[in-house]
Structure 1
Amino acid sequence: MTQVKKRLSKKTKGSWRKIEHQDVDNYLEDQRLEERMGKVSDKTNDELFVVDTEPTLKKKKKKIGLTLREKRKKLLKSTPKCFASLLNDSKVSDPIAKRNRVRTKEERRHFIAKSLEQANEAKGIVKKKVLRSLSDRARSLEAAAAKQKANKQAVFDKDIWEMGTAAEQRTDFKNDWIEDHVVTHNIVNTGTPVVSVPSSAFHKRSKLKAVQVPHPGTSYNPSLKDHQALLEQVKERELKIIKQEDHLNRVTTEMFKKVSSGERDTFKLNELRSGLDDEETNEIVSDHDEYIAINPPVEVKRKDRKARRKQKEQRELQLALQKKKQLKKQTADLHRLKKLTAEIKVMEKELNDQREKKKEREEKKREEPHRLSKFSFEEEEIDINMPEEISGNLRNITPHGSILTDRYKSMQKRNIIATSKDLGLRKRRDVKRYTRNSHKEEIPQPVKSKKKRK
């Protein structure tokens, strides 16, 4: 035996051993087996070996007790525990030897009805109710067989984004009486995927195409006609911008005259002095302090009968004139019916034109980018090559535009991402640098010389 040096815990007896005890344990185990079962040399071959008649894979396991299915069948035959109290455990016999049994539906039928039914069956006559029930049963069996076949050959070929609401996903809960939130509550724990897709997922953000065909004039080798057409388009766009800037300048800056500082001061002094020189404001103060009104006082005079009669007559006369005018207008309208119909047609035509224009504007507005952020969309300038840039060798042509910028602007235009503003290069803060005390050099200070007193 070799001694093994090993660091172990000294809590157990086995850890105190300093030898390999495995061979000792094996020897002792063999001795115990011989004591219980006897020596192997004394045993016969029939006691030691068994001939296998079946392969090891198909060897049946020994049944230990009842299986789960057998237990369930046994439980079905036995009386439930809830009815155990109703069972008669008494040893006393029933005093009523013969009890009246409830007859079945077939036994309660009249003998005449039974005989008629037997006669009809002999003739081959079947009731309509029986035929309907038989047809319904056959239909239900066919549906069940088709459903079973479909379940066996089930393949997940549905798109979850087209399944709709939770009520539409689950056909068991398709009912007008059940609300959507109740259906979702019931489906959550059934394993059915509850996917409520927003309505915005079923339509495109914009009617514009992802990749628009560029103008043929932007090519590095365009035809003269296409290049001239592109130049004309750019010119119109620039003129429109210049016109807009001129208009804004005209209605803002040019509305006010340019005034020098001297003229401005004189205008201000005249404005401040205008109230002092006005002769109308200088009131003449009277000698006496009594209040004198400018207008004479109003006297309230009571109307007499004559004035009231005149007022009544005037009112009646005005009403009569008003009725007369109304009748005159009605007769005039009758005479100009043809003209009125023509005017109505013109008005209807104008209204229809306005409606069509409004519809065109709305359709055009749908194609325009929406306001998704505080910045409005600004379309990129048209990349154009001047004639001198595309003439000569193709290798010397200067490239214009950027694919990344074009794609980014296209996504903004199609309302996929919000519009933003280019901030450019951000200015970094100046880093404050200082030298450590350990790295500072001591500068020798000049020694002051002491002056001698005289």
Structure 2
Amino acid sequence: MPEIKKKRHVSKKNKKDWRKHCDIRDVEDFLEDQRLEERLGKFDTKPDSELFVIDTLGKDEVKDEKDEITIKPRTAKERKRLLLSETPKCFQILLPTSKVEDPNAKRNHVNPIGAKPTALSKITDMKRLKKGVYEKKVAVARKNRKMALDKKKKTKQIRNTFELDLWGTDTPEAKGIPSTLCDEFVPPEAQLHNVLPERRLRPKPAPPKTVVNRAAVELPHPGVSYNPSFKEHQELLQEVVQHEQKMMKRETHLNRVTTGMFRKVTLQERENQWREEMSVGLPQPHNPANDQESESDSEYKPINPPVKNKKKDHKTRRRQKEMLAEKERLKRLKIEKKKITDLYKLRKLESSLSEVDKRQAKEREARALKRAVVEATALPALNAHKTPKQEPEYVDPDQLTGDLRQIKTKANLLRDRYESLQRRGALAAAKLMMKKKKKLKSYFKPGHKVTDQDVERYVNRTAGKK
């Protein structure tokens, strides 16, 4: 026997308590049904023809508004065309579904914008039709549809090549990525972050813009040999001299445009300039020589003497006007003469302009040819650093020996081969990073156990370092 719960007695003194403890769901359901009947109408009053439909058509047949039976379209294109006349689902919410009559029966009906063509819109449509705007739009739409269809077909194509080796070295597990991170939802940054440092993936350099044939290892100059001929040694000497002259010229140029631009001032001149600038606006010291000059010159001389308003007479004004007119006439005459001379110089100007055009065309062709050669033979840009330039080597004549036992090595073979690979584009150019050594300063910590011998030893050690 089900247990009957004891009815609780709750106070319903206030409105809040009344709403909280009263069950009014049946009233809400009744009001909801009433509102639904107001919108859609009562089912009791509707005839059976509106509530039920007898299906007498086939599977592929559809009945139109005019009661004409047509076959249902099967292609997707025909189904899309039929959907154009229907109201979209996003706008069906805006349509009225209520059966309640409009309280304002005399409401003015307003046509939406664009429902009725105006005279101006008809003229613009005719102009667009004559220009072929609509035909162009149709062609572009047809082209876009074709491109989209081709793209869709390509995505649906099944891969026919089965060259992937599941147990090869290309798998993420073989590269050090944990098996828990081998998932399409985990980005490659997270996978790379969790790889062990010794098995971390290295970023591949960007591919070169052009296919470069690696040059052979450059042979050193014959004059670098331990026993060169006199002619080869002199040729190498000339190359080294030219290189040094070029570097000296560059150094002098940099010195001229940087340090040489500023004027050198001696210490005394700088002191005098500073004293003069600092004393501007201050009362000057008393000088007796200036007092003697002021006493000797008893005549009063004002700073701004009065100006006399001397009027010009008619003769002066007339001559002034005549001079201006003559000056203007000569100026006009000069311009007319220049026009005549320019007419005679037209042929000369035309020939000079044609020569300039020809010269510029030749220079342009030469620059384009040089640029093409440089681009064809340029090394791939593996990183942002530039390849180091090769410095000319030179052996002093005093150090030349005919025996390999007495030769003194200057260059490092490993470094030369490394820079050679960089110059030929096989390796990325590196930038030499020099670490500065920290200067440690030593201090002497005195104490009660320090003896005179310890102090003397510390002083001698610091003096030897200096």
- When normalised by structure 2's length, the TM-score is 0.37
Higher relative contact order (CA 8 A, sep 6+): 2
| Greater C-alpha Rg | 1
- When normalised by structure 1's length, the TM-score is 0.38
